[in-house]
């Protein structure tokens, strides 16, 4: 009984924070070009990154990147870092946020709206079934984000080591993803 109440309050109560993106800033002493080349060498950029051997996957350009932890399964709610590279006098500022992909957010909002509108339209027939679908959708979101709960800290720690920075040059605020 103690486990159930502890799980309910610590995990389910943080669901809005799990969807909200968290801001992330790294200040690296390396040049913008050096940061770009180091990150590019350490991520799989192919479409089938499941078969790669590097710890990170994603897309990168000279000014921005979308980085996620490479996993051997599909999770649409996987945490990813969307960031841009900004040259500064002291090196490079990498500024972005951790969160789920924007397309996934849009699809989930569309599906939930569709279910709610459908439930309102046919509420005379089966109100329990529609509510069950909405609750099921929320459970899928929770499970996907729960599986990806440590990915933001993995990416953060990996980038700290890769870009030769330390904890004092990092600013982070926002949701529970990082």
Q: Is 54 helix (H, G, I), strand (E, B) or coil?
A: coil
Q: How far, in Å, CA of 75 to CA of 82, rounded?
A: 17
Give the pLDDT score at 117. 77
Catalogue the E-assigned strands of the chain: 22-28, 43-44, 56-60, 64-69, 80-88, 91-99, 170-174
Give the pLDDT score at 25. 87
Give the pLDDT score at 65. 92
Q: Which long-range contacts (CB under 8 A, 24 or more apart) does 70-76 make?
A: 70/44, 75/144, 75/147, 75/148, 76/100, 76/101, 76/104, 76/144
Q: How far, in Å, CA of 146 to CA of 79, rounded?
A: 10
Q: How far, in Å, CA of 108 to CA of 41, rounded?
A: 33
Q: Going residue by residue through the chain, which has 178 residues, state the pLDDT in tens, using 9 for 90 and above.
A: 444 444 443 444 444 455 567 788 888 899 999 999 999 998 888 766 667 788 888 899 989 999 988 887 777 788 889 999 999 888 888 899 888 888 888 888 888 788 777 777 776 555 666 677 777 778 888 888 788 888 888 888 888 888 888 654 555 444 444 4
For residue 45, report the phi and psi dihedrals to the nearest 5 degrees.
Answer: -105, 0
Q: Which residues, including other chains, have CB under 8 Å from residue 93's CB and lie 6 or more apart?
A: 25, 26, 27, 28, 85, 86, 87
The one-character DSSP state at 119 is H
Tell whether pTM > 0.75: no
Sketch the domain layout of the chain as residue ranges: 8-169
Q: How far, in Å, CA of 54 to CA of 166, rounded?
A: 22
């Amino acid at each position: 009984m103690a486990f159930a109440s502890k799980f309910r309050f610590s995990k389910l109560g943080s669901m809005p924070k799990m969807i909200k993106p968290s801001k992330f800033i790294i200040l690296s002493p390396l040049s913008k070009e050096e940061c770009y080349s180091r990150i590019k060498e350490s991520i799989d950029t192919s479409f089938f990154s499941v078969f790669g051997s590097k710890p990170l996957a994603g897309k990168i350009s000279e000014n921005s990147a979308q980085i996620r932890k490479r996993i051997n399964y599909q999770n649409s709610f996987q945490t990813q870092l969307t960031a841009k590279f900004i040259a500064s006098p002291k090196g490079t500022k990498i500024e972005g946020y951790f969160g789920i992909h924007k397309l996934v957010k849009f699809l989930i909002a569309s599906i939930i709206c569709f279910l709610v509108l459908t439930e309102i339209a046919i509420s005379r027939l089966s109100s329990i079934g529609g509510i069950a679908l909405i609750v099921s959708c929320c459970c899928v979101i929770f499970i996907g984000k729960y599986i990806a709960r440590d990915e933001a800290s993995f990416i953060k720690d990996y980038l700290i080591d890769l870009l030769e920075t330390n904890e004092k040059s990092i600013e982070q605020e926002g949701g529970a993803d990082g």
